[in-house]
Structure 1
């Protein structure tokens, strides 16, 4: 029979993980020993011993005026995944690397850690290879640094001052910004930060590759409840949701056969509706705030798609197709 730990030891381990979670959740404000003890149903001296044990295990603790917290930039609490959950994370990281045009070192490290705990067989070999492929991409250390700073600011609800790269119009001015979300986009293989521009008093989206630098400020911000990010993202084909007020219905007609079969095999947008046509073709209809990001999707079908609406998009695609054809005359 295996030598199982005592019931008290199991409780102690579970409490240790709970203390670790409470410290992490407390953020920069921290949490007192009394508050932790009350949550765990034990006395302060027990929690103090747990704190010492976490420090011995290498957990980066911080204490300020009797309030304890974790350094979030150096540590995350332990998370347990089953095989299928770990595979879901691996597939998500693979998707990110396919849509990224540069080396993201943290993605490679994350895949390495997943590979280390996978069965030492086909899965692990492919994960190790995937991490190697990530490292083979071009390195953009400035972009990595901007991403790290925005991640830390977002996690800790800290305002930032950010500068866009200088343009033909002259040097950019710093913006006081509250980062609320980081979003990848397959359109242009890009990463974006979405947040509130304090001086403009408006929501803004910035392409990380166009940011020159980011400075994390000491003041925190409260998440704004007057803006439902996911409602607006539902109106975007990629990241651009337009004005946020108007919705455009884009209607595309596809011919019968394998093209229609391919169109019907995927969900291209959350708002999509597919109409079957008498000839076996179909019409794909989506409702979005702006169609500019949808143009590459339309162009990739070549002669196998016709824009039915809106009329402005139909004219723009027609002119682009004629201009492209002239290159081959």
Structure 2
């Protein structure tokens, strides 16, 4: 017979399936007696789990829905599913979900055994991406969780950074006090105080490698303006490799948000949806807007982006003309 702690955890795992178990079924699954099952149920109740008893011939035990529950117990298949879902949500379009998913992913990855980490990595490697998904640079989940934990615990962080060639900075190791992870468009950015440059910096995660938390803890500094997301967006607008475009799309905002909301900001507009895109790839702007299958008008577009879009349209028009001939 399993020891009390192991048996209680197994009982909790069964109850978390949210189905009604009879005492006989539980006793059979746990290889114990119905009397022991009743004692283990009382033990779970003492720990704060709302286990309900259903009387009668079809009665038994079940975990009540709702309320604030202590930590969950999941099996291997469920753990892999949770990590995979959080990785997907970390790149999603729902407001606030990406940041929350990274925080949750960091907590789960902390306690995930190496075997299950390998399984989740294999699942991601063998997953098929939908058209357009390849446009977004991948960020390693291990890097995301390492950075998220360093931000949460206010721990000094070092990493190797390879800035854009136009930035004028050489690749090398950065010593930072990380503050927040911020998703903008199709990318993730780390907002941190650079200890060597004595100033705030924004780091693109797909250019960051070998992140290592250090032993030193720090008191978080006051960020100018106090809003990490606004600070990162402002710093990107000043970057030479970024294009900011605003477009009015004649379509329902919900439809637009569903299709390209994960890479842009979509707001209500009298004529449909106002879309704001910020990207270093002007070709992707044409791809995203073309995929909406709706009329649109540019409200604000940089001259270099306009030239590239005109070139693309000219090539498409020529191809259509030749096809008709």
Q: TM-score, normalised by structure 1?
A: 0.46
Q: TM-score, normalised by structure 2?
A: 0.47
